[in-house]
Each structure stands twice: as C-alpha cells, then as structure tokens.
Amino acid sequence: MYPFVGPGDLHEPGGGPSGKAITSRAVLAAWLSRQGHDELAEPFTFTVNAAGDLLLAPRRSEHVRCAGGREVLAAGEITFGREGLAWRAVAVTNHSTGYCPARASWPAVAAALDRAGIAHPDGYDPVVVFRRCPACKAINIVRDEHFACAICDSPLPQEWNISPAPS
C-alpha cells in the first residue's frame, strides 16, 4: 500500500473518494460518455484502492482526492481508446507525485482492469522513477538514470524509498 506523501494541503482525510469505481466495461463506457471531447483526448487520473477497485477522475484531479485520502495499491494516469465498440486502456503510467508508486504497483492495475474486463497494455509506459533524497528529504523524479537530487545534488538511492517524510 502506498500512503499519500504529497503536500499536506491536498490531503483531506475522511469522506469518500471522488473517483468513480470502474467495475465493468459498461461502467467505463457510461463514465467516459459523460466526459467532454477535450477530456477524452487527455489521460485520466486513476488510483487502485485497497479492495483492488480502479477509481477514475478527470486528469486535473488530485490522486489523493480520487482515492478519498486513503492509501492505494497504485496511482497514475491512464488513457483510453476505442477497440471496435469497446474501450481499452491504451497507455498507463505511474505518474502520481502524491503517492509516488513504484513499478511494482503494476500488477494491481492489471488486476483491476482484468476484473472489469478492460483490455490493457502489459505494463506502465513510461515508468516514472521516484526517489526521496536522504539528505534534504525532497521527492525527486529520476530522469535519464541520473540518480542525483534536483534540490541539493546529493546521490539518490537505486531502490524505491518513498515513505512519508519524517516530521
């Protein structure tokens, strides 16, 4: 499970998730039919909750709000496209700076899509690599295999190390 590690002003514990639980192809089709043309051209925000349900929200939604402030099995962005009469996930990424999920979160996404009967790719593309700087505690996105903090230039660990920042 991934806890929310983003800015505190975005975290609103309690209450229900704003994301729509996608439990079938029919639920997905109905939800997408209510989205505008511009929204359909963009990736959507998603989380996978503790029960393994895929929750969707418009792209500019915060992942933590999509998840109702709760821990998640996965989070990122997902793009849908038509395959005949059905929708399929054509691209999925783990890009969520609020949860910073590791590549290892992919099986939860695949399982949620499989349960709903939604075709999908074989993994995240691209995979976003998150690391917390041991020196200054900043969360970094590693680009081009450059494992150095963007804030203080300290070396970043090779292994995923995101957890809530120490108080």
- What are 90-100's pLDDT values in tens digits? 999 999 999 99
pLDDT tens digits for 65-85?
Answer: 999 989 999 999 999 999 888
Where are the extended beta strands (E) located within the chain? 20-22, 44-48, 54-57, 74-83, 86-93, 129-132, 139-142
Q: Residue 74: CB partners within 8 Å, gap ≥ 6?
A: 2, 46, 47, 48, 94, 101, 105, 106, 108, 109, 112
pLDDT at 17: 64
pLDDT of amino acid 43 = 95
Each domain of the chain, given as residue ranges in start order, spans 8-116, 129-167
Which range (3-7, 42-46, 135-139) has the least confidence?
Answer: 3-7
Indicate the pTM of the whole model.
0.90
Average of per-residue pLDDT across 130-138: 96
d(CA 160, CA 78): 22
**What radius of gyration, in Å, describes the C-alpha atoms of the chain?**
16
| Confidence (pLDDT) at 84 | 87
Name residue, tokens 């989070």.
75
